[in-house]
Structure 1
Amino acid sequence: MRQSRCRIKEDVMGLPVLIYGKSGSGKSRSLKFFDEHEVVLLNTERKELPFRKRFRKTGSSDDINQIIATINKNPEKVYVIDDAGYIMTHLFMSQHRNKKGNASFEMYDDIADAMYGLVKRIKTDVTDPDKIVYIMFHEDTDDFGISRLRTIGKQLDRKVCLEGMVTICIRCMSENGNHFFRTVTDGSDITKTPEDMFESPEIENNLKLVDDTIRDFYGWEKYKPKEDKQS
């Protein structure tokens, strides 16, 4: 049984965690193991969840300022942005038709600024040090065969490397109908987690398990259902 590391980082505010994978690989499904009161779901595309459970607190904003404000004003410790890639898509679709020449480059700068700002502000502007924000993305394969976050084109990738801004980047995969998470890279993707955080390179498709493991690793308090808090 892994013991808690008790390494609370006083200089860190919120903790951004990237979760990426193909459509249908189980990214949204992995939320089903959370208690309905445990997580705040920021559903940018307003899509239905692939399971019966419904979370008590949900939102659908793709505005970075509003997302950060939502994280700060709520007491919950777990936040999920599903799917953050649509923040880029919505910005692109709302601007691209009238952008030509230098204005087109400025549009990509704006999108890069937004995504950089999202990850950066979770680390600097979220006021509680044990709030974890799971940022979900679809994946894409680059010219070198590396699976990475899907963004709006190579120009954006050259401007900002989101996975370089985080310590935890977990890949969601599916084989023969079985969903699972990868916690370390096999050389063909951008997956990474701290050494000794997870016991296996492949774990259950269960974001609650991931959250508990991260909190154990850093010595942060884990969620207790209401009935347990009263006992």
Structure 2
Amino acid sequence: MSIATLIIGQSGTGKTTSLRNLNPQHVLLIQVIKKPLPFRSPNWTYITPENKQGSILVSDNPHFIIDVILKSKRPIIIVDDFQYVMANEFMRRSSEKSFDKFTEIGRNAWDVFNAAINAHDHKRVYLLSHTEEDAQGKTKIKTIGKMLDEKITLEGMVTTCLQTAVINGQYVFQTKNNGNSTVKAPADLFKEDHIENDLNEVDIAICEFYGIPNPQVQSQNSQQQQTANHA
């Protein structure tokens, strides 16, 4: 069983920027919409026939995304921005009069989440998505149609859902629910109500919490040991 984590927030509040400290060699980033990364990223390159060692793929096709999540050997998979998997399909099918399209769009989103929680052991899948407010004013993941909200609740399919915020000019992740959001996490996963928007640190915490080997931490420990040996 893989560990799926949802990261939600308004545009410009630090979702994609949180990738900045991850080692791209351990990551497969699926960009639903191709766009430049919002940080200096010379080592983040697109996978092409000539560059199979890259870290970024571009697709809004839910079936392709599911196939990548299930088959990739990378320990970390990131889907950014997930809501456009739904929105792009809706726009392509906007001329259809039948409401069947909403059912199919909802099913595709549900299938992606199922793949994220059912990939092989030790894989972490991070789904980054925009937010919206429901009729009661609660902040939630942005969806298309009513089926996902009334029948499923995507946040209910994951154990951890973090939300971005900007507080006094600092970009952070909210780790505790304030009663007006869908934020949640295991009680002792994070000590603070707000943490730096650093997905690498989140991944380290998740690996430690669930006892998952983390190649980035192992590499850092090895380098520190080598430094100590030569000191």
TM range (shorter): 0.7 to 0.9
Number of the residue aligned with 2:47: none
1:96 aligns to what SS in structure 2?
A: coil
Distance in 2, Cα, partners of 1:223 & 1:182: 26
In the TM superposition, 1:27-176 aligns within 5 A as 27-53=15-41, 54-55=43-44, 56-97=54-95, 99-100=96-97, 103-104=98-99, 106-124=100-118, 126=119, 128-176=120-168
**Structure 1 pair 213/228, CA: closer, same or farther in 2 (3 Å)?**
closer
Deviations 1:166-197 (A, max 9, x none): 11111111133310001110111000001111
**Which of 183, 190, 199 is matched with 1:198 structurally?**
190
Amino acid at match of 1:50: P
Matched-pair contact (CA < 8 Å) for 1:112–1:159: no
Distance in 2, Cα, partners of 1:190 & 1:162: 10
Number of the residue aligned with 2:229: none
Matched-pair contact (CA < 8 Å) for 1:112–1:160: no
Amino acid at match of 1:116: W
Structure 2 unmatched ranges of 5 or more:
45-53, 227-231
Matched-pair contact (CA < 8 Å) for 2:106–2:144: no
Segment of structure 1 superposing worse, 58-67 or 38-47: 58-67
Shift of 1:227: 8.1
**Greater RCO, CA 8 A, separation 6+:** 1
Structure 1 unmatched ranges of 5 or more:
1-12
Deviations 1:181-214 (A, max 9, x none): 0111011100000111111111111000000000
Deviations 1:115-165 (A, max 9, x none): 1111112223x2x21101100110111121111111124454223210011
**Structure 1 pair 96/156, CA: closer, same or farther in 2 (3 Å)?**
farther
RMSD: 1.9
Amino acid at match of 1:47: K
Amino acid at match of 1:85: Q
For normalisation by structure 2, the TM-score amounts to 0.86
Percent identical: 33
Distance in 1, Cα, partners of 2:186 & 2:64: 30
